Structure 1
């Protein structure tokens, strides 16, 4: 004898039908893994944005605020996960202090180096400097938007000191090789001896206020972001 089916008290499940626009967005999201760049162009732009941001010393939060986007959106742009609009990229470029075209520069892929034999650096002397202030330019390297210049500086005991000045858009590195120096960094004075180093952010004022009894020699490297 056939058993009578009893109706379930629960509603019959039915497939949920999404709106066409939402269904298309979900389909695209499934096809594009979040961990992979959206395209080669998006990845290139993202790499440029990140490189320029790091060179300028700006934090992700500050750049995002200046560009009028969220920090998470900036992170996705830098990783190439989204194709930002031209208006957004223009605001990012303004926040970085560069032209919009700079974000689309294709890396050359060249291997660049600069070799200077001992004692063969370019001697540079400014008007008014005394003989005991000797500076040698040890080379110049341009890689993408970054320019690096190492200098070997020797200050004799009678050399004239120079006051603190600001190097706009330049990150500076000082490594003391010999002697002693008293350096002015903003409103502070830091004493350096052989083996001591300084790393100065962009726009930080730096100068030499005093030199020890013996000649002082130090390596001075500047990192400049070209626009």
Structure 2
């Protein structure tokens, strides 16, 4: 609760006042000395603008931080059907039930279209440069620098036509641990 309050830059006294409880009660709640009622938790959650379930999450076990200085991401060279697609892993989060993998993907001049990627999770793509005709399942769309896509990655997807080079984009893959 203290972390949630700090995130919105609110004092314990201000939170107590807005939630309609005493400052001493707020202090005892934050120190784990009392177990507040659901009604009190609901009032506090409303003031903090968070779901009440947030107070029951184990935040300590779910904290990861990945810092990758510019140009220092892990380079991954693909030699299969996506040869010429250069991946730079920009970090990763593996804690809890969610895996997050952000990649900077750059297509070399010899890269070929590859519209048949398919894997578990949700993918977010943000085009940095270039223009492609992108396939998602049975749909195609023109995607250019500044455009973004967000989709379920279980469907076949990928660049079907490489229209304008150089092509680079951020790709973030979110996968739940089974």
User: TM-score w.r.t. structure 2 length?
Assistant: 0.63
Q: CA RMSD in A?
A: 2.8
* 2:159 aligned residue: 208
Task: Quote the residue 1:172 is aligned against.
Answer: 123
**Structure 1: how far apart are the matches of 2:90 and 2:73?**
5
**In structure 2, how many angstroms separate the alpha carbons of the residues matched to 1:35 and 1:119?**
50
Write the distance in 2 (CA, Å) between the matches of 1:197 and 1:163: 17
Q: Distance in 1 between matches of 2:169 and 2:38?
A: 48
Equivalent residue for 2:72?
120
Map 1:33-52 onto structure 2 (within 5 A): 35=39
Q: Which runs of 4+ in 1 moved over 3 A?
A: 32-37, 104-107, 129-132
2-structure distance, mates of 1:209, 1:111 = 38
More strand by share: 2
Q: CA deviation at 1:172?
A: 0.4
Aligned length in residues: 132
For residues 63-74 of structure 1, the aligned pairs below 5 Å read none
Residues 166 and 179 of structure 1, relative CA distance in 2, 3 Å threshold: same
Pick the aligned partner of 2:147 from 180, 196, 199. Answer: 196
Gaps spanning 5+ residues in structure 1: where?
1-31, 38-77, 81-103
Counterpart CA distance in 1 for 2:153 and 2:82 is 28
CA change 1:130–1:205 in 2 (3 A) is closer
- Report matched runs for 1:44-193 at 5 Å: 106-108=58-60, 111-128=63-80, 132-168=84-120, 170-193=121-144
> Does the aligned pair in 2 maintain the 1:164–1:186 contact within 8 Å?
no
Counterpart Cα distance in 2 of 1:203 and 1:130: 18
TM-score normalised by structure 1 residue count = 0.51
SS at match of 1:116: coil
Q: How many angstroms apart in 2 are the aligned matches of 1:203 and 1:221?
A: 14
**CA–CA distance in 2 between the matches of 1:129 and 1:159?**
9
Distance 2:155 2:82 in 1: 26
Cα deviations by residue, 1:6-52 (Å, 9 ceiling, x for unpaired): xxxxxxxxxxxxxxxxxxxxxxxxxx976467xxxxxxxxxxxxxxx
